[in-house]
């Protein structure tokens, strides 16, 4: 699988470990930085990962910051991206099955290495269920289009 990955300074160490794990498992991983743990701004790293996923050059994205929330907020500004913070195994499985999430965001402050690896594995191995969920995901995608000037639905 083609995976785009990035972090900010708070997520740098965990990102490096996840990149190594995913590469070791045979995935093609493109690392968008940073190259070190120096202070940086998470939107600068969320954007290229989100763009790669939205353009179809990466099948999935992984973003790591302190909480996972800032990265999710930034990545979700890119049309076609459905980024979700990974907190529990069940939530990650369901966000793939029901929401077709294509970017996983992780909070380095709240996950140990094993938990992060487990959540990432679930994210990469779980398929979208489709069916009634496809209709809902399509509605999310429509929300990313230009607003209706009349204010309607």
Angle at 80 between CA 86 and CA 114, to 5 degrees: 20
Q: Let me know if 40 is a catalytic residue.
A: no
Active-site residue (options: 27, 40, 98, 133):
98
Q: Let me know if 9 is a catalytic residue.
A: no
Rounded distance between C-alpha atoms, residue 111 and residue 10, angstroms = 12
Rounded distance between C-alpha atoms, residue 49 and residue 29, angstroms = 11
Active-site amino acid positions: 65, 98
């Amino acid at each position: 699988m083609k995976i785009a990955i990035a972090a900010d300074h708070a997520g740098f160490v965990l990102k490096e470990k996840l990149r190594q794990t995913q590469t070791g498992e045979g995935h093609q991983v493109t690392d968008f930085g940073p190259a070190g743990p120096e202070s940086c701004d998470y939107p600068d790293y969320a954007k290229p990962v989100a763009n790669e996923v939205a353009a179809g050059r990466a099948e999935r994205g992984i973003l790591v910051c302190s909480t996972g929330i800032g990265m999710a907020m930034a990545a979700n500004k890119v049309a076609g991206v459905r980024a979700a913070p990974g907190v529990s195994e069940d939530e990650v499985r369901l966000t793939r099955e029901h929401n077709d999430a294509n970017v996983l965001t992780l909070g380095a402050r709240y996950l140990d290495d094993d938990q992060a690896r487990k959540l990432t594995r679930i994210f990469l191995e779980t398929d979208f269920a489709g069916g009634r969920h496809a209709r809902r995901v399509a509605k999310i995608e429509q929300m990313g289009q230009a607003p209706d000037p009349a204010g309607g639905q």
